[in-house]
Amino acid sequence: MAIISDDNNFENQNLKQKNPIIKTESIEYDKTFENSIRPKTFEDYIGQSALKETLKITIEAAKLREKPLDHLLFYGPPGLGKTTLAGVIAEQMGADIKITSAPALERPRDIIGILMSLKGGEILFIDEIHRLNKVAEEILYPAMEDFFLDMTTGKSQTVKTLRVPLPKFTLIGATTKAGALSGPLRDRFGIIHRLQFYTIEELSKVIKRTASILDIKITEDGAVAIAKRSRGTPRIANRLVKRVSDFALIKFDGVITDEVANYSLDILNIDEFGLDTTDRALLNLIIEKYDGGPVGIETIAAALSEDVRTLEDVCEPYLLQAGFLQRTPRGRKVSPEGYRHLGKKVENVQQSLF
Ligand SMILES: Nc1ncnc2c1ncn2[C@@H]1O[C@H](COP(=O)(O)OP(=O)(O)OP(=O)(O)O)[C@@H](O)[C@H]1O
Ligand SMILES: [Mg+2]
């Protein structure tokens, strides 16, 4: 399986936009690190069992019929394995995959170029697909539905429409915001799946797998301790294993035990629920300055000097899932669990808010 990226930098741009705090050097490092531990097969892809089972059946059926897979859309918070899963599917189909992202498809010729370069059965992966512009979407509709491109040539009176057939390909779209996808685009995906946060048990497996690839010694309890603070997210679990392994090496005897993990993560300001300084600052701000909310996300972002998208895509999904934050039509508010987690008195909260 060949993985061809039409823009080697797109993942970097992607990360920079999502998390403006990350510096360029660390993005390069992160990307290489992520690729070195990315599962390539369903056996190595931990968790998401219901989704995996459905996909395996769909893939086997497509292979039996000798047809390409239906177009697939994966959505869910960052780091849950959408890109990884696209690679696994390609491997299982024995198909090549071309990887790109919506911001790299700004001009019509970008999307036309990539569609015309596809071979039969090939997979086209478009990350951040909710960010496709209208023109690109309209080029994509007939390509997805009937496998052809409508091209216009000439000017004003002499305009001619040309129908260019395309080989049958599979589009895999990924997005952190399914709601931001236009209805017509969403309707053209045969299969739509939400990726779930991972359980502690699943994350422990991810951690042990990564540790063994990187030759890091870790105990069962050590893996569980890191898993508990990984916000249900394999990408975070993997980063934490690396960080904790540094502490294990320098401050301890090289083995990650639960004691080593808890000691290191406390120093890194990652609490027992995996919340970091930004998450706690967000909850604190709503409690202290806005009586627990509701307050708009733009106001929160401005007060914290954070990017709205980072808060919406990275912080919020987990805070909502953990039950510390609630979303209302008038803005975000902190739940009684959120108050308790920060050691604040819940009596101060107007009961009617909940
Ligand atoms: N199911 C899994 N099993 C083991 N490791 C996983 C799994 N899912 C993700 N990972 C690890 O987490 C890292 C991040 O996954 P991936 O890049 O696929 O996330 P994503 O959902 O595409 O994130 P984004 O929305 O930021 O693009 C990968 O490098 C991979 O090593
Ligand atoms: Mg991705």
Minimum-distance ligand 1 atom for the alpha carbon of 175 = 25
Categorize the per-residue pLDDT at 158 as very low, low, confident or very high, splitting at 50, 70 and 90: confident
Q: What is the largest CA-CA distance in the chain?
A: 78
Q: Which helix (H) or strand (E) holds 323?
A: none
Token couple for 237:
């679990």
Looking at the chain, the domain(s) classified CATH 1.10.10.10 span: 277-344
Token couple for 30:
């992160």
Q: Which CATH architecture has domain 200-267?
A: Orthogonal Bundle (1.10)
Catalytic residue at 258? no
Q: Which of 30, 83, 231, 233 is catalytic?
A: 83
pLDDT of residue 4: 45
Looking at the chain, the domain(s) classified CATH 1.10.8.60 span: 200-267
Length of the chain, in residues: 354
Structure confidence by residue, pLDDT tens digits, 283-333: 999 999 999 999 999 999 999 999 998 899 889 999 999 999 999 999 999
| pLDDT value at 16 more than 60 | no
Q: Which helix (H) or strand (E) holds 108?
A: helix 108-116
34-to-16, 31, 39, 239 alpha-carbon distances in Å: 16, 5, 10, 9
Q: What is the CATH number of domain 277-344?
A: 1.10.10.10
Q: Which residue lies with its CA nearest to atom 26 of ligand 1?
A: 78
Q: Mean pLDDT throughout 108-113?
A: 94
Catalytic residue at 82? yes
Q: Scanning the structure block, which residue is given the tokens 């395996």?
A: 56
Q: How far is the CA of 86 from the centre of ligand 2 (A)?
A: 9
pLDDT of residue 149: 93
The string over 188-212, giving b where at least 16 C-beta atoms fall within 10 Å of a residue's C-beta and e elsewhere, is bbeeebebbbbebebbbbbbbbbbe
**Residue to probe by mutation, ligand 1, list 48, 74, 83, most atoms within 8 Å of CB:** 83
Q: Scanning the structure block, which residue is given the tokens 């705090």?
A: 21
Looking at the chain, the domain(s) classified CATH 3.40.50.300 span: 3-194
Structure confidence by residue, pLDDT tens digits, 240-296: 999 999 999 999 999 999 999 999 999 999 999 999 999 999 999 999 999 999 999
The string over 286-298, giving b where at least 16 C-beta atoms fall within 10 Å of a residue's C-beta and e elsewhere, is bbeebebbbbebe
Q: What is the CATH number of domain 3-194?
A: 3.40.50.300
